[in-house]
Chain A
């Protein structure tokens, strides 16, 4: 409690509060822009946060993450174009409600359910993260190695075409992380005599290239027509009857979102889709789904915002990203010289609790803005692509150049952008590559440390029950789809 009050005290600093407010406005703004997701924006903003100092920087990025998920619902409801992938489930019922003349109610319910889901998950974060960190104190390199492998294996379910493609992307991320000097042997790897590569490939240019420049190249090939706002209704605060009707959906969404978010690699989009399905399954008004159900807006909105706090639990407590976006935030923390993990709770409690407090504040900010400024934010989707995407490219170049003032980083960004574009075209998701890149150092370091502890004998892992359990869960998760297919074949052959 003392730590949390300390965090609140940090938040009273007008500069930090301004960053949270700016992050919230920017988050809603980009969330409402179809094509630019929260993760793209956080990647683009990362270079600007380097000059801010750790607390305002992480509060700013956290606020963008919280608000972008909500912002996506505005255009999902009014334009049927989810601004953020996590709002795709909201569009299913939200746009139908707008067609029925209930756009204002849908926007109001979206804002309220998002805020409840978001606040619920931050409360879980405040309680669960220190407990998880405390239990992780007994973890040694073997357990961290097993945990990082588990996190990478979860990439299989992150999105994209297939689990195999996701695992390939994650492994490529691990491979990129090996570029540069190996710290235990002093040997340069894949540097080819290029000075800039000796220190390894920086997170910032790769993140900007994969997410922002890659998306820009893809958008150039598509060049959609100008969107039009179908319905511009002012948001309406839901009444008591509507809140009672949606209470179950909101709690189901909040619970599912927090749980899914806390699993490594899975983020808000998965949470929203599962939240939508479960809301429909448990609803007393199933017949309304598909025709503009208000519960179908409340459930996924609570879920995708609850996933934000949930995904910060493993990120901060263990240093294992809970989603693609938190992988970028984790990279931001590392760039700031902060290494997340259990020791952070002892070493920098103020930073952590300031992050928690800022996420609570961001949820309250976007609730207010969502209720009173939704119509204004909906107009954001009218910004012509002809201005937006060239500006994104320029920001990519300046953002990649900025932190180290190095043209080498600009070249890395451009190369990563081309890879990101090819990934999108071939049905690969760039998110697992980022997970691999962020976790690469940890995987190699902990494997090497484990082998030193075990005297180069891999069977040493057998004496570490937590590591064994994590290996078993990883293997089960990876092999289950294959095993279930074999079982189906066997059953079909018998029949």
Chain B
């Protein structure tokens, strides 16, 4: 087989994107059947027609994308390494940490851990920046804007 005949990574990416988009549109179209019925006697478009029209448009566009010639892949799109996965995990753990340490406590903790994972290896500087930033958050949101930030079980409850 000639090299040019093989689908490129980018064309596969387009096809995967198109398939995912089509699935979302199909699910949204299916979702319109779960809407409550429109009260009788109301003029004009009902509640389901507009979302269905959009879903059909998206499905049509997904077909176009599936058939489209691929563009150049973005060279900056590097695969996430272990460090990136760890940072993403940190983001995912922010909300559970908030339940324990409150929003301000979790923020300080996150700044230190994520900063370390990002490559900063000076713990005192990390802790200092995290503390200063958390203080600024408290000043701006709690003192100035009078917001009540969520507290946690062991801090700020």
Contact = CB atoms under 8 A, between A and B. Distances in A.
Interface of A: 48, 51, 161-162, 164-165, 167-168, 171-172, 174-175, 178, 182, 184-190, 213, 216-217, 220-223, 384-387, 389-391, 393-394, 397-398, 401-402, 405, 407, 410, 414, 425-428, 444, 447-449, 451-452, 456
Interface string B24-36: 1100100110011
A449 B43 CA distance: 10
Given A172-B24, A410-B95, A165 B50 contact: no
Given A189-B35, A384-B120, A447 B58 contact: no
A187 B38 CA distance: 7
Contact of B39 (A185, A217, A425, A452): A185
Contacts, number: 161
Nearest to A395: B137
A394 B51 contact: no
B43 A393 contact: no
Contact residues of B: prevailing secondary structure: helix
Contact of B71 (A185, A217, A405, A427): A427
A174 B54 contact: yes
A448 to B, nearest CB: 5
A228 to B, nearest CB: 16
B149 A390 contact: no
B114 interface: yes
A410 B43 CA distance: 38
A423 to B, nearest CB: 9
Given A390-B114, A398-B107, 6 more contacts: A168-B65, A182-B47, A221-B80, A384-B120, A394-B107, A398-B141
A48 B145 contact: yes
Interface string B135-157: 00100110001111110000000
A188 B25 CA distance: 18
A374 B94 CA distance: 37
B17 A426 contact: yes
A206 to B, nearest CB: 16
B129 interface: yes
**In terms of DSSP, what is the predominant structure of the interface of chain A?**
helix
B147 A405 contact: yes
5 contacts: A178-B51, A185-B38, A189-B47, A398-B141, A402-B145
Contact of B115 (A162, A390, A456): A390
B5 interface: no
Contact of B61 (A167, A188, A213): A167
Contacts of A428: 17
Given A168-B62, A185-B39, A217-B88, A178 B71 contact: no
Nearest to A450: B44
Contacts of B118: 220, 223, 384-386, 389-390
Contacts of B150: 401, 407
B38 A171 contact: no
A45 to B, nearest CB: 11
A451 B129 contact: no
Given A394-B137, A402-B145, A447-B45, A171 B50 contact: no
Given A175-B51, A185-B42, A187-B35, A401 B140 contact: no
B7 interface: no
B21 A168 contact: yes
A186 B47 CA distance: 8
A190 B137 contact: no
Contacts of B43: 452, 456
